[in-house]
Homo-oligomer: A and B are copies of this chain.
Amino acid sequence: MSWVQKTITLSARPRGFHLITSEIVRQLPELADYRVGLLHIFIRHTSASLTINENADPTVRQDFEQVFSRLVPENEPFYRHNDEGPDDLPAHIKSSLLGPSVSIPVTDGRLALGTWQGVYLCEHRNHGGSRTIVVTLSGSL
Given contacts A5-B36, A5-B105, A52-B100, contact A81 B93 (CB under 8 A): no
A80–B62 touching, CB < 8 Å: yes
Q: Which residue of B lies closest to A99 (CB)?
A: B99
B53–A104 touching, CB < 8 Å: no
Secondary structure dominating the interface of A: mixed
Count this chain's copies in the assembly. 3
Q: Which residue of B lies closest to A37 (CB)?
A: B3
A52–B114 touching, CB < 8 Å: no
A140–B3 touching, CB < 8 Å: yes
A101–B98 touching, CB < 8 Å: no
Given contacts A45-B116, A59-B81, A81-B63, contact A54 B92 (CB under 8 A): yes
Query: How far apart sit A112 and B97, CA to CA, in the bound complex (Å)?
Result: 21
B-binding residues in A (CB < 8 A):
1, 3-5, 36-38, 40, 42-46, 51-54, 57, 59-60, 62-64, 66-67, 71-72, 76, 78-81, 83, 89, 92-93, 95-105, 107, 112-117, 120, 132, 134, 136, 138-140
